Amino acid sequence: MGKDASVGIIANPASGKDIRRLVAYGTVFDNQEKVNIVRRILLALDALGVGRVLAMPDYYGIVRRAAEGVRSDRPLRLDVGMLDMPLTGTQIDSQRAAELLCTAGCGCIVTLGGDGTNRMVAKGCRDVPLMPVSTGTNNVFPLLIEGTTAGLAAGVTALGCGEECTVRRSKKLTIFKNGEAADIALIDAVVLQSRFIGSRAMWEVENMRCCAVTRGEPHNIGVASVVGNLSPITPEDPNGGFLQFDPQRADVFAPIAPGLFLPAGVSLFKPLRPGEEIQVAPVPSIIALDGEREVDLHAGDSASIRLDRDGPRVVDVPAALRRAAESGFFRDGERVRRLAPL
């Protein structure tokens, strides 16, 4: 039924723990809660008949603990394995794990993290659909969703239930440095008049000079909320947006970080069309990608930001589960009998 179907899991043990717990009011998303979420994901995948789960190893053992904690009277029937990969303890682990999960033939990758985690996964996942579960600080890209539901959506996707109409292509921003593609962002790329990367996490507005975004809605947190409170851009909108900030103005207030509301001065806002490229100024500067300082520009460097339509493919959860229900997926006799006690 689904013995050959595989789902990958990348659970970032560092997500939900950065400095914005000190400078704002972010809640610590502890690893035990991630274990609980992954356990419910595993149980959903198992109930559907997915045959194998491959996971990124981590220092806490999130997926291993989740599997071991399943009650003995209803043990998991699927095979749970860990990727054979060295760990660096940095964000590179998420990208490398995504690459290996693609090579292993996974039909869907579940991520636990925030925008930063998913940015790294997007650099390695190629065309494998993502099921992003929110456990970070800035969570515009991932969904605040119950693990059971996320597991069901990932499972029906991996099992091939109507993927052509239940997986959506997202937008991305490509950052060029001195003519070469240097990095990507899924939500926003903010140019900061600063020379130091420091803690990486971004929360102040006084150093912001300009910003490109793929989307922004009033319910978002982070720089995307500035766009959302000015002129909302949805994930489905083909365009993005470009803003120029003016620290001498105060045009709109927005939640820049959890519980942290700051006024932002905006001197220019315009649509950013697919393929359109914006030159970065000033230089020297730092470009923060999805809330984290990443690209440093020194005197003499040049940089630009382009909106592209070939971002990662993301599972549309309501569409995926509705399609599965309409096709009789949950009424399949073998699948129903699988739920009987061993």
**Structural domain boundaries in the chain:** 6-170+312-338, 172-308
- Confidence check: pLDDT of 237 > 50: yes
- Give the confidence band of 259 by pLDDT, cuts at 50, 70, 90: confident
- Give the confidence band of 21 by pLDDT, cuts at 50, 70, 90: very low
Q: Which residues touch 26 (CB under 8 Å, ≥6 apart)?
A: 16, 18, 20, 137, 257, 258, 259
pLDDT at 206: 80
Portion of the chain with pLDDT greater than 90, in percent: 73
Which CATH architecture describes the domain 172-308? Sandwich (2.60)
Supply the pTM of this predicted model.
0.93
Average pLDDT for the chain: 91
Tens of pLDDT, residues 5-20: 999 999 999 876 554 5
Backbone angles phi, psi at 105, to 5 degrees: 85, 25
Domain 6-170+312-338 fold: Rossmann fold (3.40.50)
Angle between helices 92-103 and 115-122 (to 10 degrees): 50
The residue type of 97 is A
Tens of pLDDT, residues 200-217: 556 677 889 999 999 999
User: Would the CATH topology of 6-170+312-338 be identical to that of 172-308?
Assistant: no
The CA distance from 139 to 211, in Å, is: 18
| Count of beta carbons in the 10 Å neighbourhood of residue 48 | 26
- Give the confidence band of 258 by pLDDT, cuts at 50, 70, 90: confident
Question: 44: part of which helix (H) or strand (E)?
Answer: helix 31-48
| Count of beta carbons in the 10 Å neighbourhood of residue 206 | 11
pLDDT at 333: 79
Token look-up 């909320």 returns: 225
pLDDT at 275: 98
